[in-house]
Structure 1
Amino acid sequence: MALEHRMRAVIGSVAAVTAIGALMAGCSLESPQAAEGNGQEVQVHEDLRALLPGELRAESTRITVGTESGYPPFEYTNEAGRIVGFEIDLFDAASDRLGLKYTFHDMPFESLLGELYASNVDAIAAAMSDTAERQIDYDFVDYYNDSDAIMVPAGNPGGIKTLKDLCGRPVAVLTGSTQAEALTALNTGDCKAKPVTVTQFDTDADALAQVQAGKADAELTQWSTGAYNAKQVGSGDVFEVANTEVINPTPLGFVFPKGDVELVRAYQASVQSIIDDGTYAEILKKHDLSAGALKTATVNNQAQQ
């Protein structure tokens, strides 16, 4: 990818609107967030930095990274208005080792892949599921395993336990997500005779708010985000995860343009080094996400050759 494409700013602005509190609020593209790190001295790993494309080794170079900040614990805004979370910490650590500066751009989830395809951003860090369909146009550096959660009101008044239990019910979901695709597949399969009424929303927070308002019987989301919200929203007595069985397990990864081989290999090697020296385990523990840990940072769900 040409350097001028790497440095092109995303045009437009968006705020991640939330109906369930400032915890899930987003920030505007008009104030893109530059990485600040954790305040500790950063040690660049020269062997990893050497893997970067030549034009990205200049001290003044900064890439742009698309995200959607309403998706805790992966990305969310803190009280100071900065985007924080597990994936942010991990991307910080990987980028620090590469000696690569970057700026986050917050935008709707459904627009992320299109902005990457158009070279308006250079990478995505947004809890993106690594699927065979997405691999046609993009490359993934996988960093975590996750699955899906069926979010319901606390007490589960509808008695929902499985995806089949959603048949005939109103269900909210994030636009452009693999969970939205799963509901579409459900309506052509197990729920064909009694389809789910699917309503899609720009943010996960908006979808979840439909459950709280009684406008949807459930929301389908990623397990880690669902479990986080079940604990954090209100006093932990507003929502619960209904399913006990694992649904649609899949790796999550940082996303890059298809064929950007050097940048992909650099981030794969950097994430692997973080796994190997225990930094990854520390970041996972900080965010209570150890259950989904990977032993190998894979590319497109395949071990790096």
Structure 2
Amino acid sequence: MALGHRVRGHRARAVIGSIAALTALGGLLTGCATDSAESAEGSAQTVEVRTELRAMLPGELRAESARIAVGTESGYPPFEYTNEAGRIVGFEIDLFDAASKRLGLKYNFVDMPWNSLIDELYAGNVDVVAAAMSDTAERQIESDFVDYYNDSDAIMVPAGNPQGIKTLADLCGRKVAVLGGDSTQQIALQTMNQAECQAKPITVMPFDTDADALAQVQAGKADAELTQWSTGAYNAKQVGSGDIFEVANTEIINPTPLGFRFLKGDVEMVRAYQAAVQSIIDDGTYAEILEKHDLSVGALTTATINNQP
């Protein structure tokens, strides 16, 4: 897959030597920093460094002291969330950890609001975003993705589905909560208002976090929430006793790959992480991590770049 050249000129990589250095990056980083050894539970299978893959990294990242900054938003289970010990955990955390171990590259997660993630990437304050981001053609204009999972969307409703919502078309004329910040779900609802819901538009209710959006459904302030299927299925099982929410749709809607997101043209990093993810797919580590988080349904057999073979 051909990658573009950097469109913003040379940027200083956010390589750091300590947590203190990371938190001093600037006032734009509103979240907290966590060390890779503390944040990721990781796979039970040992992941060894492969020298031929490590050699694919940019030269400055092959030094033993090198460390990168990884932007995330820890309110999106099962991909990333904070456990009772205050550590950021989840499927994507474990996967990024395994890929980084394969490359022999240290990192720190920086927890921040969803709508700050891409600005921090473009500003060079983080080197990569790991936040269950959909790989779309629009986002590929200024970003490159290493795809690691296939997902779709879920329509979340109160348990029992009292309004009988089953499809996207059923959302026309209703109040629907969603993660804001131009999430793919927010864009999908806005697109529907320009097409099939033009006569009965959806009242789109964007919120800063997925949890805030889902809370509107529980409070009766929204008829439904549109979210990613894996997150919706997780919340339907885990919130309360599993009897507060349910996923309304039985058919797949808006299928899309998810990927680690890099600044456009960061060619060496993208290719190194693509090779690392493919390596852990090939040796079974990926399948083990998927099974741990009950996400095997969305498994890839090939780690693609920008959804291209």
Give TM-score scaled by structure 2 length: 0.90
CA distance in 2, matches of 1:233, 1:89: 22
CA distance in 2, matches of 1:133, 1:86: 25
5 Å matches for 1:77-88? Answer: 77-88=82-93
Amino acid at match of 1:11: G
CA-CA distance at 1:113 after TM superposition:
1.2
Q: What is the match of residue 148 of structure 1?
A: 153
CA-CA distance at 1:61 after TM superposition:
0.8
- 2:65 pairs with 60, 64, 67, which one? 60
Task: Give the conservation status (yes or no) of the 8 Å contact 2:69–2:110.
Answer: yes
SS in structure 2 at match of 1:193 = coil
- 1:272 pairs with 272, 278, 285, which one? 278
Give TM-score scaled by structure 1 length: 0.91
RMSD: 1.4
5 Å matches for 1:1-305? Answer: 2-7=11-16, 9=25, 11-12=27-28, 14=30, 28-29=31-32, 32-36=33-37, 38=41, 43-176=48-181, 177-303=183-309
CA-CA distance at 1:252 after TM superposition:
0.1
Task: Give the conservation status (yes or no) of the 8 Å contact 2:73–2:131.
Answer: yes
Task: Give the conservation status (yes or no) of the 8 Å contact 1:10–1:121.
Answer: no
Count the aligned residue pairs: 288
Task: Give the conservation status (yes or no) of the 8 Å contact 1:35–1:102.
Answer: yes
CA distance in 1, matches of 2:143, 2:226: 24
Where do 5+ consecutive residues of structure 1 fail to align?
15-27
Alignment deviations for residues 224-258 of structure 1 (CA, whole Å, 9 cap, x no partner): 00000000000000000000111100000001010
Alignment deviations for residues 7-41 of structure 1 (CA, whole Å, 9 cap, x no partner): 46353454xxxxxxxxxxxxx42xx0010155876
Alignment deviations for residues 133-164 of structure 1 (CA, whole Å, 9 cap, x no partner): 00000000000000000000000001100111
CA-CA distance at 1:108 after TM superposition:
1.2
Q: What is the match of residue 21 of structure 1?
A: none
CA distance in 1, matches of 2:102, 2:13: 23
CA distance in 1, matches of 2:236, 2:57: 40
Task: Give the conservation status (yes or no) of the 8 Å contact 1:275–1:281.
Answer: yes
Q: What is the match of residue 20 of structure 1?
A: none
Amino acid at match of 2:269: L
1:10/1:274 CA distance change after superposition, 3 Å: farther
CA distance in 2, matches of 1:273, 1:11: 37
CA distance in 2, matches of 1:152, 1:163: 12
SS in structure 1 at match of 2:75 = coil
- Structure 1's consecutive aligned runs of 4 or more residues displaced over 6 angstroms after TM superposition are none
Amino acid at match of 1:89: D
CA distance in 2, matches of 1:175, 1:108: 11
Where do 5+ consecutive residues of structure 2 fail to align?
1-9, 17-21
Task: Give the conservation status (yes or no) of the 8 Å contact 1:141–1:253.
Answer: yes
SS in structure 1 at match of 2:269 = helix
CA distance in 2, matches of 1:261, 1:219: 37
